[in-house]
Amino acid sequence: MSRRLSVFLLIVLPVFRLGAQQFGEITGTVTDASGAIVAGAQVTVTNSGTQQVRNAASNDSVVYAMPYLVPGTYAVRAEKPGFKVTSQAGVDVHVGNVARIDFRLELGEISQQVEVTGGAPLLNTESVALGSVIESAQIVNLPLNGRDYLSLVTLSSNAVGEMAAGGGSGLQGGVRAATAISVAGQRLEYNHSLLSG
C-alpha cells in the first residue's frame, strides 16, 4: 500500500507545482506605528482589471499571504478596528513573482484612511527567482522575423542569442530548430520552452 501511495505522490505533486507557474503572490507583514505585531488584521486584495476580491488575515507572526493570484495590477488594503485603513494601489503581480507589501497601521478611526503611493521595491527579498516580463507594447512595436516569439527572449538582461549549431537537430522545426539562446550562462541544450495556445 505504501508503495502505491509513494508512486501516486511522485506523479501528483509535480502537477501541482506546474499549476503554480501561471500565478503570482502578494505577501507581507502588518504592524502598528511602533513596529508591534497586529494579528488578525483584515487584508483585502482587489484586481484592478477584473474587480475580483480576495481576503486574508494576518496571523500571530504578523504575516499575511495571498498566493495563486492571476497576473495583473492589484490594490491592497489592510484594516483593523482601532486603526486607520491603509491601502496601496498599483501593485503589479507577474507570473512567478512574489510582491511584498508591508503595512504599518496608525491608530485612529476606521473611517480614516491612509493611502500609500510608490513603486514596487527594487529588491525582491521573497524569492531567488529571476524573470522579466515583455510588455505588449514591445511585442507590437518590435519587428519579429517570421513571428518568432523566441526573438523576444533576448530582450531579457540575462539571455544571449548565440550562433546556432549547424544541422538543426531535435523535435523542433522551422526557425525554432535554429534558435540558440543561452540564459544565465547555461549551455544551450539546457534551455526548454513550451508554448500554450
Query: Residue 85 burial (CB < 10 Å; 0-12/13-18/19+)?
Result: buried
Mean pLDDT of 87-98: 86
* Position 19 confidence tier, pLDDT thresholds 50, 70, 90: very low
DSSP state of 154: G
Indicate the pTM of the whole model.
0.58
pLDDT digits (tens, 9 = 90+) for 41-55: 899 999 998 999 999
Mean pLDDT of 68-75: 91
Dihedrals φ, ψ of 33, to 5°? -60, -25
Radius of gyration of the chain (CA): 22
Percent of residues in the chain assigned helix, strand, coil, to nearest 5? 20, 30, 45
Q: How far is CA 31 from CA 36, 59, 79, 149, in A?
A: 5, 11, 11, 45
Mean pLDDT of 167-180: 58
Rounded Cα–Cα distance for residues 86 and 116 (Å) = 7
HSE-CB for 11 with a 13 A CA cutoff: 6
* Position 128 confidence tier, pLDDT thresholds 50, 70, 90: low
CATH number for 2-116 (one of 3.40.50.300, 2.60.40.10, 2.130.10.10, 2.40.30.20): it is 2.60.40.10
pLDDT digits (tens, 9 = 90+) for 94-110: 888 888 888 888 887 65
Q: Minimum mean pLDDT among 115-119, 159-163, 179-183: which range?
A: 115-119
* Position 163 confidence tier, pLDDT thresholds 50, 70, 90: low
The answer, yes or no, to whether residue 76 has pLDDT greater than 60, is yes
Cα 161 from chain centre:
25
Select the more confidently predicted residue: 121 or 21.
21
Q: Where are the domains of the chain?
A: 2-116, 136-190
pLDDT digits (tens, 9 = 90+) for 133-154: 777 787 778 777 666 677 777 7
Contact indicator for 188, 180 with CB cutoff of 8 Å: yes
